[in-house]
């Protein structure tokens, strides 16, 4: 399972070769992906803030291609709190990360250096800016 952070979608729109390849593998059902509900919020908010007309299209496609990690479990919230505290990462990042982990994501694509602080055997965090 592949976790896709908010910045992943900006990387795709900027034609980042690796991000586009991952997205195409999801479109072709070669891989399974998960996106946090917080990423949907962030994309919509940024679309409104910056007047990005593509945001609506992206928000329609994501649920058709990926599972959505909704925050509805006390266990996910507890894990997010522990991640935020233990790793010193912002709350939203820890909520996104905990959602990925609850879906069994073994690879996480991001442009966020905070998520790189998570290091656990069997989980790769790949920063698309590197």
Which pLDDT belongs to residue 52? 67
Q: What is the dihedral of CA 33, 107, 104, 41, to 10 degrees?
A: -50
pLDDT digits (tens, 9 = 90+) for 48-75: 887 767 777 888 999 999 999 999 899 9
pLDDT < 70 positions in the chain? 52
The residues spanned by each domain of the chain are 2-127
The DSSP line for 8-45 is HHHHHHTT-HHHHHHHHHHHTTSS-EEEEHHHHHHHHH
The confidence score (pLDDT) of residue 78 equals 97
Architecture, CATH, for domain 2-127: 3-Layer(aba) Sandwich (3.40)
The pTM (predicted TM-score) of the whole model is 0.92
């Amino acid at each position: 399972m592949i976790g896709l952070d908010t910045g992943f979608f900006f990387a795709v729109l900027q034609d980042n070769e690796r991000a586009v390849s991952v997205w195409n593998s999801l479109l072709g059902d070669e891989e399974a992906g998960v996106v946090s509900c917080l990423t949907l919020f962030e994309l919509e908010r940024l679309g409104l803030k910056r007047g990005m007309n593509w945001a609506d299209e992206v928000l329609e496609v994501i649920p058709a291609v990926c599972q959505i990690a909704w925050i509805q479990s006390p266990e996910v919230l507890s894990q997010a709190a522990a991640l935020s505290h233990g790793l010193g990462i912002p709350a939203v990042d820890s909520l996104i990360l905990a959602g990925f982990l609850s879906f069994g994501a073994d690879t996480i694509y991001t442009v966020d250096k905070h998520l790189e602080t998570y290091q656990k055997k069997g989980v790769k965090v790949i920063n698309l800016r590197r």
